[in-house]
Amino acid sequence: VGELQLIEAIRDVLDAPGERVVRWTGDDAAVVRARPFAVTSIDTVAEGVHFDLSTHSPADVGHKALASALSDLAAMAAEAGEAYVSLALPESLATGDALQIVSGMATLAKLTGTTIAGGDVVRAATLVVTVSVTGWADSQDQLVGRDGATAGQALGVTGELGASGAGLMLLRRAVPSVDRSVTEALTGRHRRPEPRLAAGRALAHAGATAMIDLSDGIATDGRHLARESNVRLEIDIDALPLAPGVAEVAAAADRDAAELALTAGEDYELLFTIPPERWDAAASASDVPLTRLGSTLDGEGLHFTGGDAPDLDLLRGYEHL
C-alpha cells in the first residue's frame, strides 16, 4: 500500500472533526478556531522503548500514544482540543495494523472530545508514534502549573497507583499469574491508561495550586513538582492508594508494593497540591476518588513517612530507573 492510499484509509478511520476545526486532513494544514490560550504538548512512543508489540496490540499503541499526550493537558487543566499524529511505520507492519493504531487513537479521541486534525506517515526502521496535542483555556488562571504550591498545603493524588507497573510485570510474565480478573484489570490499566482530563479541570476549579501527571511515578514526578514550587513534599507511604492486586503482584515479584507504586510509572494519575480547606470541594467535584498523601513543607525534595524502614532506605536515594 502506498503512502497516499494509506493516508486515505486513515482518513476513513477518523471521526468527523469537532466544530472548532475548520479545515483538516485534506488540506496542507489544519485550521482551528482558537480560544485565548493554547496549551500544547508532544509525546513520542517507540517500539522496544515504550511498548512492545508482543504485549501491546496496535490499537493499544495508538491509545497509549494519545493518552500520554492528553495526560499532560490534564495536568495543566486544559480542555482537550486537537491531536496531530506522526506515524513512522516499519515495512514489516501490515497496513491493517497501521490502521488499528489510528483506530485505537480515534476511540480515545472520541471519548475525550479530541479531534485528530492532521498528521503524517513515513517509513522507518522501527515503529514510532508521535502525537502533538493542543488543549484550550479561556483564561490563564484556569490553568495550573507545577510551580504554584506553597508550604502548608494538602498533597493529593487521583485514582489508584501501581496498576500500570504491576500490569506490565504481568504482561511480561515476570511474575507468577494472579487471579484472572485482577490480571485483566492491571494489564488493562497498563495497555489503556486514562488521561484524567475531567479530574484535572475539576481540581483546578476547586483551587489546586500545582499539578503534574504521573508518567514516571511519584518518586520522580513528585520531585519535579517540589523543585518547581520550591517546597518539600511529605508523603505517607501507608496512605498510597494501591490498585487492587498490586500488593499481590509485588509480593510475587519479591518487591515492596509501595516502592513499585512510587517508581514504576505510567499510572497517569494526577499529583496535586491544594489548600486544605479546599479539599472537600475538590473531592466532590472530581470524577475519580482523591487520596490525601500528605502535605507541603518548607524545604526541598520528597520526605517519606510511615511504611517500613528498609523501604524508606530504598526510596531515599531514588533518582530515576
Question: What 3-state class would DSSP assign to 181?
Answer: helix
Which residues are near Mg ion by CB under 5 A?
A: 72, 213
For residues 43 and 47, which CB has a smaller minimum distance to Mg ion in the complex? 43
Q: What angle do CA 219, 222, 223 make, to 5 degrees?
A: 85
State the minimum distance, in angstroms, from the CB of residue 211 to Mg ion. Answer: 10
State the minimum distance, in angstroms, from the CB of residue 66 to Mg ion. Answer: 14
State the minimum distance, in angstroms, from the CB of residue 43 to Mg ion. Answer: 8
For residues 72 and 256, which CB has a smaller minimum distance to Mg ion in the complex? 72
**DSSP readout, 100-117?**
HHHHHHHHHHHHHT-EEE
Q: Are strands 115-123 and 79-89 parallel, antiparallel or unpaired?
A: parallel
State the minimum distance, in angstroms, from the CB of residue 133 to Mg ion. Answer: 12
**3-state per-residue secondary structure call for 118-155:** EEEEEECCCCEEEEEEEEEECCHHHCCCCCCCCCCCEE
Beta carbons of 154 and 292 less than 8 angstroms apart: yes
For residues 183 and 220, which CB has a smaller minimum distance to Mg ion in the complex? 220
State the minimum distance, in angstroms, from the CB of residue 210 to Mg ion. Answer: 13
State the minimum distance, in angstroms, from the CB of residue 215 to Mg ion. Answer: 5
For residues 72 and 269, which CB has a smaller minimum distance to Mg ion in the complex? 72
Which of 319, 213, 203 is closest to 271 using CA atoms?
Answer: 213
Q: In degrees rounded to 5, what are phi and psi of residue 88?
A: -100, 110
For residues 58 and 156, which CB has a smaller minimum distance to Mg ion in the complex? 156
For residues 76 and 93, which CB has a smaller minimum distance to Mg ion in the complex? 76
Q: Are strands 210-213 and 128-137 parallel, antiparallel or unpaired?
A: unpaired
